[in-house]
Amino acid sequence: MWKTVLDRMLRKLVVTGELTVTWPDGMSDAYGPGGGPTADVRLTDDSIVKELGQRPVLALGEGYMDGRIDVAPDRVYDLLALLIRCQQQGAMPKWFNAVQAVRGWTRGIEQRNNPLRSARNVQHHYDISDDLYRLFLDDDMQYSCAYFARPDMTLDEAQAAKKAHIAQKLQLKPGMTVLDIGCGWGGMALTLARDYGVKVTGVTLSENQLATAQARAKEMGLEDRVEFLLRDYRKVERHFDRIVSVGMLEHVGYPHLDSYFAKVDDLLAPDGVALIHSIGHVSPSTATSTWIDKYIFPGGYIPSLSEVSQSIEKTGLWAADVEILRGHYGPTLNHWRQRFEARLDEVRAMYDETFVRMWRFYLAVCEAAFEETRQGVFHLQLSHGQYAVPRTRDYLYAAKPQDEMRHAAQ
C-alpha cells in the first residue's frame, strides 16, 4: 500500500530532472522527464517507505540519518536540490500543503521562545563542541553567511569581507559603544574592537561560545575593549551607540519579532545605528522544516521581508537601508560542507555515524535551500534619525584600506 502511495507522490512531484528509486524489494523505478539534474536513492526498509508517505520532510532526514535511505555521500546534495527544486514548482500533494498551511498558522504558538526556552534551544545546537565547528568554519569561527565580493574568494577572505561590509554600515568611530546581540565565538566583537577602536559588549546564551569568546579576548589583549556576557538580549538595559546582530534573528521566533525590534529601538542611542544580519525569505513565509526544528535549530524561524518590515514599522526606527544578499550563503555552505567532508576522520573520532549523516544532511539541505528557493540574507540598517548614515551607498564601496582603519583606531 505505502509503496503505491509514495510512487504516486513521486510521479507528481518530480517534474524536472530524473530521480531513480530502488525499493526494499530490489525493484527500481525512474521518475521525472529527464534532461536535468539526476539523483539515485535506495530505500532499505519497508518502514521508511511508509514514513515517507506519511511525513516526507521529517522522514527524509531521519531515514538518511539511520541508514534506511541510502545515498552516496557525494550525491546527497544532488538528491536534496532536485527534490527542493521540484517542490518549489508546487507539485506536493494537497494534504501536504494543507499541513504546511496549518503549521504556518500556528507558528505563533510553536515558537514562543521565552528566555528559558531560548537558552535551551541555543545550547542544543551551539554547546555540542567547539572542536566540531573549528573543523569546518574559517579561522575566526564565523558561523553565518560570508560576503563573496569576488567569486574566487577563500572562505576566510569572504568572512573578513562580511565583517568589513557590516562595519562600514555601522559607521564606527573610535570610542563608540557597541552591543553585539548573539555574539557567537566573539569574532565580530573582537574584530570591531581591534580594527575600529570601539568598546563592545557581546551577549550569548551559549556557555561554550562564552568561554571561547572570553579566552580569545584575553589572548588578543582586548579585555579592556570587549566584554562578553551570558545574557538574554531582553535583559540588556543600557544604551549603545551601535548595535550589531549577525545570525541571531533566526532564533527569535515569529511571536517575538515585534519585541525584538522594539528592544533594538530601546537600546539604540538617539543618534545610533544598528545592523541586523539575518537569513530571510523574499517570498511568503513558510513553516520551519520539521526535521530542522527537531534536530538542528529548535524554535528557529526564518522570517519573510514583509514580516520584519511590519515589526520595524511599529518602532521609532528608520529602515535606513535594506540590502538583500543573494548568492552568498549557498557558496558559504558549500565551503563548510566540503571542509566537513575533508575532515571526516576527525569528526568520527568525536561522534557516531548517525551524527555524521545528520550533519552532512543539514549542510547539504541548507545549501540546496539557498540555491533553489527565494531565500537570502537581509541586511537591515536601522537608525532613529534619517541622516544618521549617508544618504547614498557610495560610502560602502570607497572603504579605507584595513591598515588605515587600524591606524585610525590606535
Catalytically annotated residues: 366
Task: Report the alpha-carbon distance of residue 248 to residue 109 in Å, rounded.
Answer: 20
Q: Which helix (H) or strand (E) holds 123?
A: helix 115-126
Q: Which of 201, 191, 185, 183 is nearest to 251 (CA)?
A: 183
Q: Which of 258, 266, 141 is nearest to 211 (CA)?
A: 141
Task: Report the alpha-carbon distance of residue 32 to residue 15 in Å, rounded.
Answer: 5
- Determine how many CB atoms are found less than 10 A away from the CB of residue 76: 22
Detail the DSSP E strand segments found in 25-96. Answer: 28-34, 38-43, 69-70
- Scan for cell 541571531, then name that residue: 248
Task: Report the alpha-carbon distance of residue 335 to residue 333 in Å, rounded.
Answer: 5
Partners of 319 in the beta sheet?
382
DSSP classification of residue 7: H
What phi-psi label fits residue 172: left (phi over 0), alpha (psi between -120 and 50 degrees) or beta?
Answer: beta
Partners of 243 in the beta sheet?
179, 274
Q: Which three cell numbers stand for residue 389?
A: 548614515
DSSP classification of residue 238: S
Q: Which helix (H) or strand (E) holds 227?
A: strand 226-230
The residues near 213 (Cβ < 8 Å, ≥ 6 apart) are: 183, 184, 185, 186, 189, 190, 202, 204, 228
- Determine how many CB atoms are found less than 10 A away from the CB of residue 225: 20
Give me the DSSP letters along 267-327. Answer: HEEEEEEEEEEEEEESSS--PPPHHHHHHT-TT----BHHHHHHHHHTTT-EEEEEEEE-S
